[in-house]
Amino acid sequence: MLFSQSIKSEVAIEQALCFIEENLANSLNETSLAAQLDYSTTYFSKLFHKSTGTSFRNYVIAKRISLAKQMLTEDKAIKVAAIAYQCGYKDVSYFSRIFKKKTGLTPASYRQQY
C-alpha cells in the first residue's frame, strides 16, 4: 500500500509540473491544482516541496523568471510589458520588482546585458 501511494504521489507531482509548465501565462493556484489532483492543499504542498526542494509559489516564480529571461534575450523587439503578460504577470511593475529581486537586474538591464 505504501509503495503504490508513493507512485501515486510521484505521478501527481509530475502532472503538477507539466501543468505549471503549460500554464505559466495563466493564473496558477496551488489550492485549485491540489484539488484537481485530489489532494488537500497542505498535503500537496508538502509533497511538492519534498519533490522539488522548493515551495509551489517559488517554483512558479522561478519558472516564470526563467521564461522571461529567455524571451528578453531571444527577441529584443518584444516590449517588457508583453513579456510580463506572457509569463503570467498582470502587473508590469510587480513583474519588474520580482525580476529584479531574483536576478539583481531590471528586465531592461538584463536585456541590455545579455
Give me the pLDDT at residue 4, please. 73
Domains present along the chain, CATH in parentheses: 2-59 (1.10.10.60), 61-113 (1.10.10.60)
Give me the pLDDT at residue 6, please. 84
pLDDT < 70 regions, the chain: 1-3
All cell numbers assigned to 114: 545579455
Give me the pLDDT at residue 1, please. 47
All cell numbers assigned to 63: 519558472
All cell numbers assigned to 21: 509548465
Record the pTM: 0.93
HEC string of 51-114 equals HHCCCHHHHHHHHHHHHHHHHHHHCCCCCHHHHHHHCCCCCHHHHHHHHHHHHCCCHHHHHHHC
All cell numbers assigned to 75: 527577441
Give me the pLDDT at residue 2, please. 53
